[in-house]
Amino acid sequence: MIDGGAGARAEIHHQHRDVNGGWLRPAVFGAMDGLVSNFALIAGVAGGTATTKIIALAGVAGLAAGAFSMAGGEYVSVASQRELAQAEIDIERRELERHPQAEEEELAQLYVQRGVDPVTAREVARQISLNPEQALAVHTRAELGVDPHDLPSPVLAAISSFLSFSLGALIPLLPYLFGATGLWLSAIVSMVALFAAGVLVSRVTARSWWFSGVRQLVVGAVAAALTWGLGTLIGAGGL
């Protein structure tokens, strides 16, 4: 519906989901990684030995090793990505300082390629180029796909990965920390958590909640069952 009066604007009749998942996506997938890997590790050790202390120690070691590995890997990855983006942004900034007319024409051509008529495109590019920082932001978004004022933080990424992985890895370990002596309680808790994680994932996908939950449950259960089988074989062999 469009109001015909002054200052008219069209009503928006639909909304899009955040296709990047925002903070929810990395948090859920980090926790899911910790949950599946540590559940499988605990199941594998439990298949080879009935000693609760050894199983619990393996779970604690798996949590710590996985969390530190995830944090370190994420820090290096995001830091490298940020450094590369910053280097390219600096190149773009120098080009804007040295060749402003050429960069303005380049920006105009980008708009022309997107369907804007040449006259309008050149006027838009001219107005944007009046503000050097705004021009830099527009150029880097258009050419590099990054915002120079919103580059990812490697420290924040590392902390987030550490915490989310630790939370997931703690779930299958909790029953043993509270005195459980068999794998069944850890398996039940982990299965429920796997299904719940899958349901959360459905919020950033087009799948139904039950499909996503069951899929994640099956993936985690298969990983744990295979590792348990391997642990049983090794334990039976006396290795």
State residue 7's pLDDT score. Answer: 47
pLDDT digits (tens, 9 = 90+) for 56-95: 999 999 999 999 999 999 999 999 999 999 999 999 999 9
CA distances from 91 to 17, 57, 85, 88, 188 (A): 34, 51, 10, 5, 55
| Terminal-to-terminal C-alpha distance of the chain | 74
pLDDT above 50: residue 233 = yes
Does residue 166 carry a pLDDT above 90? yes
Tell me the β-bridge partners of 10. Answer: 2
pLDDT tier, 1 (very low <50, low <70, confident <90, very high otherwise): very low
Q: Predicted confidence band at 10 (pLDDT cuts at 50, 70, 90)?
A: low
pLDDT at 236: 67
Q: What's the pTM value of the predicted model, to 2 decimals? A: 0.79
Question: What confidence category does residue 145 fall into, taking pLDDT thresholds of 50, 70 and 90?
Answer: confident
